[in-house]
A = this chain, B = another copy of it.
């Protein structure tokens, strides 16, 4: 399956009844009932919060001990799991849970009224696709294009010549600067800013000149961008977020950064200008990254790390400055032993002095 095809799971068509037999769900996720029990399922939830009628699953192995105490009526487990309570065995319980969740989500999904809210300010030159929904107080400037079925929620501002694909969802109070380009099925959470000027200044004696930013931001298909995240436009050229990449809340992506496809940037990550993040990379929360370096495909960087040089592909780095994770672990272990080591050194020094004294005496 190619990366630019969205999964059939991506956009539920219309609400369905939210009361299902467990056996129907088993069929839906391609799993098998754990035992003869086949209860009605009316909701989904975590192990701790579940009530009767809920289907639950084990998000973490550490929660298994809570399973006997859950009020849930059934549980999704791995096919190797040996339990005898009502449930479904499947080879990917997390995926199965997500499928069921999506099924229930359709019933709760809000209805986006089609058309343009009378309070929205939409320039006459803007080109809107079929079945779009433009919310209250939205601003859409001249030259903007918006694809079919895209939803722009209240208070969002889309400046001149932006292009937005089909089936996008821009939540409330988002800001898109001029010429920002957004692919299909992109979701942007509230307060996010795309296309702000890069942070570039040149000194000339006492003066500080702003570097004009004439580039833009391109966000490819199936990307999600978190609340209050910021993506700066390029100085010249493009700041690019690749297909399927997911960016969490309050992340900073500076000018001219390139992020590959299917990468994960967790909350409060900060990436400096002209840095590159490869494909399927994970940056854990609060990671910082200097400019002009690259993180190779498939690599992972641990939370709060500071990436100060390029990282090869398929590695796990951590620490500030970041280094291979096993080196970080070794250093942490050694550092924890430091106080004890200082004691040891003091003892050695004493013993050595005694030996030297004895030696001198014996001479």
Binding site for B on A (CB under 8 A): 1-3, 7, 9-10, 43-46, 49, 59-60, 62, 92, 94-95, 97-98, 101-102, 104-105, 108, 110, 117, 119, 121, 135-137, 139, 141, 153-155, 157, 159-160, 171-173, 175, 177-178, 187, 189-191, 193, 196-197, 199, 201-212, 214, 222, 224, 226-228, 230, 232, 235-238, 244, 246, 248-250, 252, 254, 256, 262, 264, 266-268, 270, 272, 274, 285-286, 288, 290, 292, 303-304, 306, 308, 320-321, 327, 330-332, 334-339, 341-342, 344-345, 348-349, 351-352, 355-356, 358-359, 362-363
Contacts and interface: CB of A to CB of B under 8 A. Distances in A.
A346 to B, nearest CB: 10
A3 to B, nearest CB: 6
Contacts of A10: 209-210
Contacts of A178: 110
A161 to B, nearest CB: 9
Contacts of A352: 348, 351-352, 355
Nearest to A351: B352
A187 B272 CA distance: 21
Nearest to A249: B230
Given A172-B175, A227-B230, A352-B355, 12 more contacts: A49-B236, A49-B237, A95-B202, A95-B209, A104-B214, A119-B119, A191-B193, A228-B228, A248-B252, A266-B272, A285-B290, A303-B308
A63 to B, nearest CB: 8
A275 to B, nearest CB: 11
B356 A351 contact: yes
A337 B342 contact: yes
A86 B205 CA distance: 28
A249 B121 contact: no
A262 to B, nearest CB: 6
Nearest to A123: B136
This chain's copy number in the assembly: 3
B206 A262 contact: yes
Contact of A331 (B117, B336, B358): B336
A172 B191 contact: no
Given A267-B270, A274-B59, A159 B177 contact: no
A193 B154 CA distance: 13
A248 to B, nearest CB: 4
Contacts of A208: 222, 244, 246, 262
Contact of A226 (B139, B230, B345): B230
B196 A249 contact: yes
Of residues A2, A199, A235, A337, which shows the largest number of chain B Cβ atoms within 10 Å of its Cβ?
A199
6 contacts: A46-B237, A62-B292, A157-B172, A173-B175, A187-B210, A288-B304
Contacts of A189: 193, 196-197
A107 B203 CA distance: 24
Contact of A235 (B7, B46, B92, B249): B46
A228 B139 contact: no
Contacts of A137: 121, 137, 139, 155, 157
Contacts of A249: 193, 196, 199, 230, 232, 252
Contacts of A285: 252, 270, 272, 288, 290
